[in-house]
Amino acid sequence: MKRVAILGAGYGGVEAAKQLSKMFKKPSEVEITLYDRNPFHTLMTELHEVAGGRCQPESVQVTLEKIFGGTKVGVVIDTIKDISFATNTLKGEEATYQYDYLVLGPGAEPEYFGIKGAKEHSLALWSFNDALRLRRHIEDQFLKASREPNTLRRRKILTLTVAGAGFTGIEMLGELLEWKKPLCHRYGIDENDVSVVLVEAMTEILPLLPKKLRTDSLRFLARKGAVMYLNTPITEVRADGITVKSGATIDTETLIWTCGVRGPEFASKLDFTGGKDSGKPAATEEETNLKYNIVKKARLRSNEFMQSVEFDNVYLVGDVLWFSERSRVLPQVVETALQTAGYAAHNIHAEIHGKTKKAFRSNYHGYMVSIGSKFAVAHVLGMELTGFVAMAMKHLVNLHYLWGVVGVNGCWEYLQHHFFTVKDGRSQLGNQLAAKSPSYWMLPVRLALGLMWLGESVAKVLEGWLDASRGTSSSWMFSPGVVQPGVDPDTVGAATEAAKAVKVHDFLGFMAQPILPHDFFLVQWMQGFMDSVVSQVPFMLLQVPVVAVEGLMGLALLGGTFTWLAAVASLALSLNFVVSGTLTWNSAWMLFASVSLMGGAGRVLGLDAWIMPWLQRWWSRTQLAKKTYWYLGDARKRK
């Protein structure tokens, strides 16, 4: 059995592991193991949302157990310190691990270009911890400022500076511009005391985007109050400010460094010699680039099969890889990570099965940049999009990614984090989906519906439904004027007649009409079905279960026990009455109440408060839940 090790649970590592697990169908063929220091995969493209206080930290974490629990991929949490390519060994802090094939995806680190004080005195945004640190720092600055009586000192504390106008810098800038208002409100600070500043070395922002999108972004940022210094390279960073090339200084205690990335230090220390500085001067521009990036930026060179140029059994994926496709080096973006991982997985499979390897061909779709929660620019498939549509596109792309990684559960959590649980209206739809009302407001509805079904069951018994001598009768079962949920049997026929008499204007009469009239085709079909099929069903199998189900539903709702199930049954039965032409408008509330009760209404003064968490934990541990990603509740509490 071949051992495939994957180092790094970033976009590349996770994709490679998923693809390999799909390609090797037989469990005995390979052993696939993913190594990472964290037990979760970080959604790096959303880090600014956590750092900028828009989303909660867990919104960018997807636990590896959740992703791989139902697959043959083993997950090992350890920090790998070194790799011996001679003995095919990963050396971790906890143990050493053997491999036959290695997929190397250790990601990237911020680049400081040797600028004095930059590393020591700035805050980066390139990991989960960075985002948390930055978020806390900004909140601390507002707290500190709220206690500072001196206006000048307060303004310095509240000068938030972003260095670099690439994607990371602009996305962070957008969050700060949006977050400052709620922060000022919370800490009692005048918004005019806050400055959100951008410092960029080049004359343009977002250089990878077309001119129109750059201009739209610039205009939007200016409108939101950003102070932008372009063509202003930073030359020195101190704890209390920065100096730029002209010699001017900016007082700031918050410098967010997003001036580019390089391969990780870990990669620069690896025992790679291929592609490293041979001592000979570079002859071509490409060679110069190569030397610069391999040696100084710690990126490792691969061939077109994503194999390291030095070790055939080592595949490179994502930011660490240096591969020049048609004289263009692959950019360090998510699409590169996903696509190189796909090729690496395919080629490892091909090699083990003695098949032909596939040479890399990129297929980029474009870039999307959010500037706050409501505005974005996107250059996708040749289209230039701005504003609401671009933002919607970004959400769709994120959902698509999550669907592939953790299925429906991941998508639901994404919607929760980005729409249902946001604060201060910081979602594309503002507060529209975020308002919460506590479950105890649903208690009266639950009790009303419960009483209704219990009463209905009792009424059926009193009406003689359990009288076996009456036999099974489909028309008797659903015909109006006999027993209908919520409708007095004696008044229906009369009310229907009255409604006819006073025509449509008579609101009360209208309310007593069935939702679907008797001549409606569905009602006709249902009546036919009841007459021909259901009436053949023995008494015990029809009337008794119906009475029992109604009674149980009533009791379940009253006791808040399996409320979700009872609400679904209530909806199904009510719909059945609609289709049978017997549910009247004045009982239509049952349909809506049933839907409303599905959101955890049994957890207030009900047994569901205990039953549901237990059931969710039990279910989420099953193989079926893991394989289908239908986890319920908070998966982190599944152990």
CB 201 to ligand NAD: min, Å:
4
Which residue has its beta carbon closest to ligand NAD? 166
Pick the closer one to ligand NAD by CB: 142 or 367: 367
Pick the closer one to ligand NAD by CB: 80 or 259: 259
Pick the closer one to ligand NAD by CB: 331 or 471: 331
- Helix axis angle for 539-559 and 443-463, nearest 10°, is 150
Pick the closer one to ligand NAD by CB: 10 or 164: 164
Residue type, 406: V
CB 194 within 8 A of CB 157: no
Task: Say if strands 96-98 and 89-92 run parallel, antiparallel, or are unpaired.
Answer: antiparallel
Please give the torsion angle defined by the CA atoms of residues 577, 580, 582 and 587, in that order, rounded to the nearest 10 degrees. 30
Count of CB atoms situated within 10 Å of the CB of 318: 30
Pick the closer one to ligand NAD by CB: 369 or 477: 369
Instruction: Give the contacts of 337 (CB within 8 A, at least 6 positions apart).
Output: 10, 11, 12, 15, 105, 317, 318, 319
* Edge-to-edge strands, sheet with 159-163: 123-124, 254-257, 159-163, 195-199, 227-229
Instruction: Give the contacts of 416 (CB within 8 A, at least 6 positions apart).
Output: none
Pick the closer one to ligand NAD by CB: 5 or 369: 369
> Three-class SS of residue 590?
helix
E strand or H helix at 197:
strand 195-199
Pick the closer one to ligand NAD by CB: 397 or 607: 397
CB 116 to ligand NAD: min, Å:
11
CB 45 to ligand NAD: min, Å:
6
CB 257 to ligand NAD: min, Å:
9
Rounded to 5°, the CA angle 57-206-105 comes to 55
CB 274 to ligand NAD: min, Å:
24
Pick the closer one to ligand NAD by CB: 145 or 333: 333
> Three-class SS of residue 32?
strand
624 burial (CB, 10 Å; 0-12 / 13-18 / 19+) is exposed
Pick the closer one to ligand NAD by CB: 35 or 367: 367
Residues that bind ligand NAD (CB under 6 A): 45, 115, 163-169, 199-202, 207, 233-234, 258-261, 331-333, 367-369
CB 244 to ligand NAD: min, Å:
8
CA distances from 536 to 61, 463, 483 (A): 56, 21, 21
CB 638 to ligand NAD: min, Å:
31
Pick the closer one to ligand NAD by CB: 260 or 481: 260
Pick the closer one to ligand NAD by CB: 197 or 547: 197
CB 206 to ligand NAD: min, Å:
8
Pick the closer one to ligand NAD by CB: 105 or 606: 105
Hunting for tokens 């009872």 — which residue is that?
Answer: 566
CB 207 to ligand NAD: min, Å:
6
Q: Whole-angstrom Cα distance, residue 202 to residue 215? A: 15
CA distances from 409 to 45, 98, 392, 404, 630 (A): 19, 34, 20, 11, 6
CB 319 to ligand NAD: min, Å:
8
CB 202 to ligand NAD: min, Å:
4
Tokens of 46: 């959303």
CB 347 to ligand NAD: min, Å:
24
Pick the closer one to ligand NAD by CB: 125 or 557: 125
Pick the closer one to ligand NAD by CB: 119 or 617: 119
CB 79 to ligand NAD: min, Å:
23
Task: Identify which of 310, 342, 338, 304 has the alpha carbon closest to the alpha carbon of residue 323.
Answer: 304
SS3 content of the chain, % helix, strand, coil (to 5): 50, 15, 35
Tokens of 420: 């249902």
Task: Identify which of 259, 270, 223, 315 has the alpha carbon closest to the alpha carbon of residue 110.
Answer: 259
CB 255 within 8 A of CB 237: yes
Pick the closer one to ligand NAD by CB: 202 or 541: 202
DSSP 249-268: EEE-SEEEE-S-EE--HHHH
Q: Whole-angstrom Cα distance, residue 229 to residue 203? A: 9
Task: Identify which of 198, 235, 10, 232 has the alpha carbon closest to the alpha carbon of residue 112.
Answer: 235
CB 104 to ligand NAD: min, Å:
19
CB 199 to ligand NAD: min, Å:
5
- Helix axis angle for 589-596 and 563-579, nearest 10°, is 160
Q: Whole-angstrom Cα distance, residue 459 to residue 565? A: 23
